[in-house]
Structure 1
Amino acid sequence: MVGDQEAISAVLNRLRRAQGQLAGVISMIEQGRDCKDVVTQLAAVSRALDRAGFKIVATGLRECVTTEHPDGSETLDVAQLEKLFLALA
């Protein structure tokens, strides 16, 4: 992911937060914590990863799904865009 350092920093923070939450879920399972609590935390991890993915797509949209032609023009690859969004669904 190349580009806006602020956006990259935000994505990395989200991923680090999700990593910490996932470590917490693993610990909760090892401790035999209540299923409801584990599932609640697992859902939070999932949301954090989804948000990181959406942020990557939103900020990197141009570089991810455009094709630059020799004449300097660019075209948007709609099929690739759809594939990226569906991968996050």
Structure 2
Amino acid sequence: MASYSTHKDDVLKRLRRIEGQIRGLQRMVEQDTYCIDVLTQVSAATRALQSFALQMLDEHIACCVSEAIAEGGEDANTKIKEANAAIARLVRS
């Protein structure tokens, strides 16, 4: 089970807000909005996605990784490696 399953509606609501930001960017381009204003909104959407990713990572570590460690075995090492890879991807972007 995914760590966000208990509050999937909240997760989806947050993603819909981000989707709205992206659609707003499309409208801004269609309306020939000043470049700096578009870039400001790109920055806001990027921060929103980064914040979402960090929330997902936090929940993954708190739930999936913690459970795997408590159960022991090779799955714990796999979950830790996956989390580390996700962190590396977030840091590089």
Name the TM tier (shorter chain).
0.7 to 0.9
Question: TM-score by structure 1 length?
Answer: 0.75
Q: Which amino acid aligns with 1:88?
A: L
Question: TM-score by structure 2 length?
Answer: 0.72
Structure 1, unaligned runs of 5 or more: none
Partner of 1:73: 72
Counterpart-to-counterpart distance in 2, 1:60 and 1:68: 11
Q: Deviations over 1:24-65 (max 9, x none)?
A: 0011011100001100011111111111111111112242x4
Q: How many residues align?
A: 85
CA root-mean-square deviation: 2.5
Which structure shows the bigger proportion of residues in strand conformation? Answer: 1
Structure 2, unaligned runs of 5 or more: none
Partner of 2:59: 59
Counterpart-to-counterpart distance in 2, 1:41 and 1:55: 21
% identical aligned pairs: 28
